[in-house]
């Protein structure tokens, strides 16, 4: 088992949900973790004394450049930043909402990859987690067209860059959850009842997978992993 003690970690979307769960689990495993997100006050509220905080909108390349100027080059990156919208059916989807979803979910991941890879190439080692979705493997009407497009994009980007960078010792894992109990549910067109939330995948489930994969030998990679609630179909 590979020790994570002292590993430098960057988690995007670290203020809640999967990002915060992953940050806390990696910190508990001995990593030095920085969380980033657009709302600095929210980040500081959840960070406590154990997590470093930097405000950053990953869809903004100047913000990403400033982020990487402030932190040590990460050895592990967890890209968990993501949004969805309430008006997600194509008949009501606006160009502005489509652009916003793509900018954060897909272009944001590209920006973080582009900034992370040079130091990893130099070190010949690095691990990147892309929190995608089963909607990034097959489109589900519940997720909406914009979200599906963005998640297909990040899944393809992770796969393509992973194939290019494996010779540099860089491993990229796309984790594709089904329905997951995070604040993104607040953007559902119809409110989700608590009893359904209880049956979903939870951030702690994803965090456990991330720590387990990070502890594997650097000579192996898990390119893609699907995790879903028992009740949810996956065809």
Residue 159 lies in a domain: yes
Residue 235 lies in a domain: no
Residue 211 lies in a domain: yes
Answer for the pair 24, 207: CB distance below 8 angstroms, yes or no: yes
Kindly give, in sequence order, each residue whose CB lies less than 8 Å from that of residue 107, ignoring residues fewer than 6 positions away.
59
Q: Which active-site residues does the annotation give?
A: 147
Residue 175 lies in a domain: yes
The number of angstroms, rounded, from the C-alpha of 125 to the middle of its chain's C-alpha atoms is: 19
Domain that holds residue 154: 8-227
Residue 94 lies in a domain: yes
Residue 200 lies in a domain: yes
**Would you give per-residue pLDDT tens digits along the chain (235 residues)?**
889 999 999 999 999 999 999 999 999 999 999 999 999 999 999 998 899 999 999 999 999 999 999 999 999 999 999 999 999 999 999 999 999 999 999 999 999 999 999 999 999 999 999 999 999 999 888 899 999 999 999 999 999 999 999 999 999 999 999 999 988 888 787 888 899 999 999 999 999 999 999 999 999 999 999 999 999 987 6
Q: 185: exposed, middle or buried (C-beta count within 10 Å: 0-12, 13-18, 19+)? A: middle
Residue 53 lies in a domain: yes
Residue 14's CATH number: 3.40.50.720
Answer for the pair 73, 32: CB distance below 8 angstroms, yes or no: no
Number of domains in the chain: 1
Residue 233 lies in a domain: no
């Amino acid at each position: 088992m590979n020790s994570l003690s002292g590993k430098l970690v960057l988690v995007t979307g670290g203020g809640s949900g999967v990002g915060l769960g992953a940050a806390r689990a990696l910190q508990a495993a001995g990593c030095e973790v920085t969380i980033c997100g657009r709302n600095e006050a929210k980040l500081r509220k959840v960070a406590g004394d154990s997590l470093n905080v930097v405000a950053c909108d990953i869809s903004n390349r100047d913000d990403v450049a400033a982020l990487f100027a402030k932190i040590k080059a990460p050895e592990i990156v967890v890209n968990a930043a993501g949004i969805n919208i309430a008006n997600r059916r194509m008949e009501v989807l606006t160009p502005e909402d489509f652009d916003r979803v793509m900018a954060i979910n897909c272009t944001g991941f590209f920006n973080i990859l582009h900034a992370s890879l040079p130091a990893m190439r130099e070190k010949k080692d690095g691990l990147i987690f892309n929190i995608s979705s089963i909607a990034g493997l097959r489109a589900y009407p519940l997720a909406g067209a914009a979200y599906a497009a963005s998640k297909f994009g990040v899944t393809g980007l992770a796969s393509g860059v992973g194939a290019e960078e494996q010779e540099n010792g860089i491993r990229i894992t796309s984790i594709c959850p089904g329905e997951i109990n995070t604040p993104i549910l607040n953007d559902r067109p119809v409110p989700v009842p608590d009893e359904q939330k209880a049956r979903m995948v939870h951030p702690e489930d994803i965090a456990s997978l991330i720590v387990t994969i990070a502890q594997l030998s650097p000579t192996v990679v898990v390119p893609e992993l699907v995790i879903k609630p028992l009740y949810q179909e996956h065809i």
